C-alpha cells in the first residue's frame, strides 16, 4: 500500500500517509463534532466541538504512528531493517527490508504493536479518570474517554488472526513454528485475512441495506481493504520465495554510465555520453562516489533558459532516497524497497562505488525467466535450492 504523500521522518524512518487516512480523519472529526460530543455535552458552541474533534483526531493519528514505530524499533532489534511507515485505513504498515529470521522474532515484531495500543488505551483511561476527578471541561474528558476506547478497540481488532492485521502475523508465526514452512504460514494468514475481509464486506452490505448506511459503508470499506491487502501480501510472499536464491548481480545492468554532479542539465541532455543510453543515470561526486540518481524526465522539466545554470545535483533524487544493495545480496530482499522507491530503481554498490543498477523491469525479466523455465508447481522448490 503506497503512500500518497509524506510527513517527513521520525526516528530516521520515513512516514507516509495513504489517502484512506484522510477518509478516517474526516469521519472521526465529523462523527465527534456532530455526534458524540454534542450528545454528551450539549450547549457548547459549535467551534468548541470542532476544535476538540480536530485535536482528538490528530492525537489518534499520533497513536497510530506510535503503534507502527514500535514495530520498526523491535524489528531493528531483531536484525530486520525498516525505513518507511505508511499510515492507512486499518492503522499502518511498516516496510521491512526482509522477513523475520525466526518465528520468535516474528512474534515479537507483530505483538508489540497491539501491546503499545493497549498501553495507550490504559494511559488515556487514567487521564480520563484524573481529568474527571479534577472537574475538567466535559469536552476534554469526553475526548480522552474516546481515545481510551478507540486505542483499546484498535489493539483488540489488530490481534484478530488474519493478515494484514498484526494478529495475522501472530498466526503466521505460530504456523511457521509448527510446520517449519514460512510460505505455508503466509498462505494460512493471508487466507484468513481474505475470509475475514469478505465477511466484513457481506456484513457491511447487509447493514447498509437494512438502513445503517454509514456503519455498513464503514464495514464494507474495511473489508475491501483487508481483502486487497491480504491478496497483495500473499503474492509478495510467493514472489520473495521465488527470488530468494537469485542474487542481485543476476538482475542488474552492470557498469552503468554515470554523470558528474556538476554537469549542467544542458550538457547532460545533449551530451553523447548519455544521449539515448538510458532513461536514468547514477550521479557521482568528484571522487566517483554516488550521490544520487537523475532521470531524463527530471532533467527535461528544467526550463530551457535555466539549463546552463542548473547542475544535476539540483534536480537528482538524493542517494538517501534511492535503494541500494550489494551484488551478492538476495534479490528478494531488494524488491520491497525497489517497489516503494519513487525512482523505481536501485543502485548496486561495492565499496561505495556503483557497479550496477536494477530497475523494476529487470526484476520482471528475472521473474519471467524463472516462471517460464521451471515446471509448474516446482518454481518455489527450485528457488529454495
Between 383 and 46, residue with greater pLDDT? 46
In angstroms, the CA 80 to CA 70 distance is 13
Nearest Cα residue to 246 out of 377, 123, 111, 362: 362
Residue 183 reports pLDDT greater than 70: yes
What per-residue confidence (pLDDT) applies to 374? Answer: 59
> All domains of the chain, ordered by start, with CATH?
5-243 (no CATH), 248-359 (3.10.580.10)
Average pLDDT over residues 85-98: 71
Average pLDDT over residues 140-165: 93
In angstroms, the CA 40 to CA 139 distance is 8
CA distances from 135 to 33, 132, 139, 142, 148 (A): 22, 5, 11, 12, 18
Average pLDDT over residues 240-247: 83
Q: Contact, 372 vs 378, CB < 8 A?
A: no
Residue 383 reports pLDDT greater than 50: no
Average pLDDT over residues 335-347: 82
For the four alpha carbons of 3, 6, 7 and 12, in that order, the dihedral sign comes to positive
What per-residue confidence (pLDDT) applies to 353? Answer: 94
Average pLDDT over residues 176-191: 90
Least confident of 210-214, 246-250, 328-332: 210-214
Residue 294 reports pLDDT greater than 90: yes
Average pLDDT over residues 316-320: 91
What per-residue confidence (pLDDT) applies to 133? Answer: 93
Highest averaged pLDDT of the listed ranges 228-232, 270-274, 280-284: 280-284
Highest averaged pLDDT of the listed ranges 64-78, 113-127, 222-236: 113-127
Question: What's the residue count for the chain?
Answer: 385
Residue 97 reports pLDDT greater than 70: no
DSSP label at residue 313: G
In angstroms, the CA 77 to CA 65 distance is 19
DSSP label at residue 375: -
- State the chain's mean pLDDT as an integer: 87
What per-residue confidence (pLDDT) applies to 384? Answer: 36
Least confident of 5-9, 198-202, 381-385: 381-385
Residues recognised as catalytic = 68
Residue 3 reports pLDDT greater than 60: no
pTM of the model: 0.74
Highest averaged pLDDT of the listed ranges 41-45, 234-238, 242-246: 41-45
| pLDDT tens-place string over residues 206-227 | 988 888 777 788 788 889 988 9
What per-residue confidence (pLDDT) applies to 316? Answer: 95
Using DSSP bridges, classify how beta strands 13-17 and 82-88 pair: parallel, antiparallel or unpaired.
parallel
DSSP E strand boundaries for the chain: 5-10, 13-17, 82-88, 91-96, 253-254, 259-260, 280-284, 290-295, 317-318, 324-325, 345-350, 353-359
Residue 72 reports pLDDT greater than 70: yes
Amino acid at each position: 500500500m503506497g503512500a500518497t504523500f509524506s510527513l517527513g521522518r521520525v526516528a530516521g524512518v520515513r512516514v507516509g500517509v495513504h489517502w484512506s487516512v484522510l477518509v478516517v480523519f474526516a469521519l472521526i472529526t465529523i462523527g465527534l463534532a456532530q455526534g458524540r460530543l454534542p450528545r454528551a455535552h450539549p450547549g457548547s458552541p459549535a467551534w468548541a466541538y470542532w476544535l476538540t474533534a480536530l485535536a482528538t483526531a490528530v492525537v489518534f493519528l499520533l497513536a497510530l504512528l506510535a503503534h507502527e514505530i514500535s514495530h520498526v524499533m523491535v524489528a531493528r532489534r531483531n536484525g530486520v531493517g525498516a525505513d518507511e511507515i505508511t499510515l492507512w485505513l486499518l492503522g499502518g504498515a511498516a516496510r521491512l527490508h526482509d522477513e523475520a529470521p525466526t518465528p520468535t522474532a516474528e512474534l515479537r515484531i507483530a505483538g508489540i504493536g497491539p501491546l503499545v495500543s493497549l498501553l495507550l488505551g490504559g494511559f488515556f483511561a487514567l487521564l480520563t479518570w484524573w481529568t474527571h476527578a479534577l472537574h475538567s471541561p466535559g469536552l476534554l474528558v469526553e475526548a480522552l474517554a474516546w481515545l481510551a476506547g478507540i486505542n483499546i478497540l484498535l489493539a483488540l481488532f489488530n490481534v484478530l488472526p488474519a493478515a494484514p492485521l498484526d494478529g495475522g502475523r501472530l498466526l503466521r508465526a505460530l504456523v511457521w513454528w509448527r510446520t517449519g514452512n514460512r510460505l505455508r504460514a503466509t498462505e494460512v494468514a493471508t487466507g484468513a485475512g481474505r475470509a475475514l475481509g469478505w465477511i466484513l464486506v457481506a456484513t457491511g452490505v447487509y447493514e447498509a441495506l437494512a438502513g445503517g448506511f454509514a456503519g455498513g459503508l464503514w464495514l464494507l470499506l474495511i473489508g475491501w481493504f483487508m481483502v486487497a491487502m491480504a491478496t497483495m501480501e500473499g503474492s509478495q510472499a510467493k514472489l520473495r520465495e521465488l527470488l530468494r536464491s537469485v542474487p542481485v548481480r543476476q538482475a542488474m545492468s552492470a557498469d552503468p554510465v554515470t554523470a558528474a554532479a556538476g554537469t549542467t542539465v544542458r550538457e547532460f541532455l545533449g551530451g553523447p555520453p548519455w544521449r539515448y543510453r538510458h532513461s536514468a543515470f547514477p550521479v557521482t561526486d568528484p571522487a566517483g562516489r554516488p550521490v544520487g540518481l537523475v532521470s531524463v524526465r527530471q532533467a527535461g522539466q528544467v526550463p530551457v533558459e535555466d539549463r546552463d545554470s542548473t547542475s544535476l545535483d539540483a534536480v537528482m533524487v538524493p542517494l538517501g532516497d534511492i535503494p541500494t544493495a550489494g551484488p551478492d545480496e538476495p534479490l528478494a530482499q531488494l524488491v520491497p524497497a525497489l517497489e516503494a522507491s519513487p525512482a523505481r530503481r536501485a543502485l548496486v554498490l561495492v565499496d561505495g562505488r556503483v557497479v550496477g543498477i536494477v530497475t523494476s523491469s529487470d526484476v520482471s525479466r528475472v521473474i519471467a525467466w524463472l516462471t517460464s523455465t521451471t515446471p509448474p508447481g516446482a518454481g518455489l522448490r527450485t528457488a529454495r535450492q
